[in-house]
Amino acid sequence: MPPNPERTEETRIRILETAERLYALHGIEGVSTRQIVIESGQKNNSAVTYHFGTPKALLKAIFRHRSDVIDADRARLIAAMNAGAGLQTLEDLVVAIVAPVVRFMATRTPSFYMRFTREAMQAMGRPAIGATILFVPAYRSVFMRGLLLLDHIPIPKKENRLIMVAEFYVQQLASWEAMATPPQADGDDPVPTLAEFASDVIETSVGMLAAPEPKRSGLFNNLFSSVPG
């Protein structure tokens, strides 16, 4: 009997979401494919290999599974900005990057996606961040628009500044996910709402992008004169 496409897709999603949760909680290196198989309720020990091939392909599949939804929301948001004129300011830029992620997080109780993203970025390195940006159409358009809006810093530093902001917002939203995941102990500080926390992340990210090219004083040069590169 040929496989049922609906059952196959249900199995794929169950494996993806189980892997996302385990990677978020234990790190990429701290999770085996066997753990993913067991916790996703599969009987076939080769289920991950059958559906995704390699662990690296599984990571990419998780990104793709989530980014399709998030980036579609991002495209709608950009189209509605400034009466259809799209991204005009650095604040527009950061809102277009962060708000769709936050709106997605708000649909998950609890959310694991940003903790997974943080772990995956650390495991795969900066080149993978760039590749992920190029893979996601609306995010790619935001990134390219950002290169134009960052006209106050030199061209070679524009891409680095945008990636720094990506690393920052992922790290911060991952931290919120961890804080917001119960249980909390008695006496713990109250966790800010996701909307409050995201507003701070957006404001800080705008500040990072708007920061001028630093003027290196003699003290700065002396302090870093021995640093390679």
Residues of the chain with pLDDT > 70, as a percent, come to: 85
> What integer pLDDT is reported at residue 135 of this predicted model?
78
pLDDT at residue 191, as a whole number: 87
pLDDT at residue 5, as a whole number: 60
Model's pTM, two decimal places? Answer: 0.87
Per-residue CA distances from 33 to 37, 48, 52, 111 (Å): 6, 7, 11, 21
Q: Given the structure tokens 């008695």, which residue do they identify?
A: 186
Residue type, 163: I
pLDDT score for 122:
87
What pLDDT is attached to residue 213?
83
Place of tokens 């991950």: 48
Q: Percentage of the chain surpassing pLDDT 90?
A: 67
Alpha helices per DSSP H over 27-154: 33-39, 47-52, 55-80, 90-105, 113-124, 126-135, 137-149
- The pLDDT assigned to 207 comes to 97
Rounded CA gap, 229 and 220, in Å?
15
- Across the range 190-214, mean pLDDT stands at 94
> If you average pLDDT over residues 63-82, what whole number do you get?
94
- Per residue in 112-134, pLDDT (tens digit) is 999 999 999 888 776 766 666 66
Stretch 189-217: mean pLDDT: 91
pLDDT in tens, 1-47: 445 566 788 999 999 999 999 999 999 999 999 999 999 999 888 89
Task: State the Cα–Cα distance between residues 135 and 36, nearest whole angstrom.
Answer: 26
From the list 141, 175, 143, the residue with the least C-alpha distance to 161 is: 143
Quote the pLDDT of residue 1.
Answer: 43
Per-residue pLDDT of 90-104, as tens digits, reads 999 999 999 999 999
Per-residue pLDDT for 186 more than 70? no
Over 80: is that where the pLDDT of 73 sits?
yes
Indicate the burial class of 139 (C-beta count within 10 angstroms; 0-12, 13-18, 19 or more). buried
Q: Is 109 left (phi over 0), alpha (psi -120 to 50) or beta?
A: beta
